[in-house]
A and B are shown apart, each in its own frame.
Chain A
Amino acid sequence: MTWKTKDGGWSPYLAGALVGLLAIVSAYATTQWMGKTNYLGASTTFVRAAGIFEQKVASEHVAGNEYFTKTKIKIDWQFMLVAGIFLGALISSATDKSFKAEGVPPIWKERFGPSIGKRAVGSFFGGIVAMVGARLADGCPSGHGLSGMMQLSVSSVVALAMFFVFGVLVANLVYQRRS
């Protein structure tokens, strides 16, 4: 086991352990400065982003929607966290030369060819299904997978198992070449 990967990245054990430390510091910092313990998560931000876009075209509809009202449409801590993930990944990849413009990833290309259109349709509809699921389950691999598992929440153990069981099933159906 080495601390660096061949392409200049860090061992996933090391980078992951550091995220564990970050999660602890973040739980402490949010409690101190926001008065409430906040855990790492990402999917609620997509609800807020949807609400912000919808407010531009149909603000009354958003105001009358129970789920948007419950979630509270605002640029909050988690929204900025998600924006920060983009910046952090940009900084890291730009400084170690792993930044790479990619329109179609290799595994996808091997199965469905180099069409960007097909990849776009797959990502878009996959995204819709995944987000409906994440909002139903009240969390994603960050909220359940990291934060919930760190607290040994029953819901997160079951949710993470479901994510992987169905992820493995569908990935094998979709990407394995029938020979």
Chain B
Amino acid sequence: MSTEQWLGLVTGILFGFLLQKGRVLRFEKQVGALLIQDMTIIKFMFSAILVGMVGIFLLADLEIIKLSHKPMNAGAIVVGGALFGAGWAIMGFCPGTSVGALGEGRWHALFAILGMIVGAAVFAELYPFFKSTVLAWKDFGKVGLSDVLGISHWIITAVFWVLVMLLFAWFEKKRL
């Protein structure tokens, strides 16, 4: 295996280990969040974002790493996001957690994984159609929130931290 592949594997093992320890891989936790009954996955996800964004912005400011925004293609994000949300609710896994769920014995994740592989093949076939329709509507390019708002990403990060902390406090109060 190449360095690149080893690096991916080791990172993935750590990622999968932490996803499992946080108990976010299960169907119950994913659908529990969508039914607003159990906010475990939200707590996990936003804790990762809070910590991650500080280090990522610091390293990017020091020009050690590069930011990589995904394009804000309006049709793609809105239509794709809606389709993903709908499929996610039925499947009860997302792409990353499906393989982790299989790892912790939830073997029904296999059907989800198969479905997603078929879905990827379907997308590849439909790509020319999407390219001339949904993807062609309006592309705002690879932009960050700080570019759009015209303020430092550190100010947005600080505000984001406060808002998420308030959200966490509310979850704990409501025992979600």
Q: Tell me the minimal C-beta distance from A173 to chain B in angstroms.
A: 8
Type the 1/0 row for B24-50, where 1 means its CB is closer than 8 Å to any CB of A: 111110011011100011011111111
B residues 20-74 near A (Cβ < 8 Å) are: 20-28, 31-32, 34-36, 40-41, 43-53, 55-57, 59-60, 64-73
For A80, give the chain B residue with the smallest CB separation.
B8
Q: Total contacts A to B, CB within 8 angstroms?
A: 528
Chain A residue with the shortest CB-CB distance to B3: A33
Q: What is the predominant secondary structure among interface residues of chain A facing chain B? A: helix
Question: Given that A34-B7, A92-B17, A98-B20 are contacting pairs, would A133 and B82 also be in contact in the complex, using a CB cutoff of 8 Å?
Answer: yes
Q: How many residues of B contact A (CB 8 A)?
A: 130
Are B15 and A101 interface neighbours, CB within 8 A?
Answer: no
Considering the chains assembled together, what is the distance between the CA atoms of A83 and B99 in angstroms?
8
Interface of chain B, helix or strand or loop or mixed? helix
Do A99 and B105 touch (CB < 8 A)? yes
Q: List 5 A-B contacts (CB under 8 A).
A: A16-B47, A43-B95, A82-B96, A105-B31, A129-B90
Q: Is the CB of B95 within 8 A of A18?
A: no
Which residue in A20, A108, A165 is a CB contact (below 8 Å) of B92? Answer: A108
Residue in contact with A85 in the complex, picked from B12, B121, B148, B157, CB distance below 8 Å: B12
Residue among A21, A104, A105, A142 with max Cβ neighbours from chain B (10 Å): A105
Interchain nearest-CB distance for A143 vs B (Å): 7
Provide the residues of chain B in CB contact with A116, threshold 8 Å.
108
B141 to chain A, nearest CB (A): 9
What separation, in Å, do the CA atoms of A19 and B47 have in the docked complex?
Answer: 8
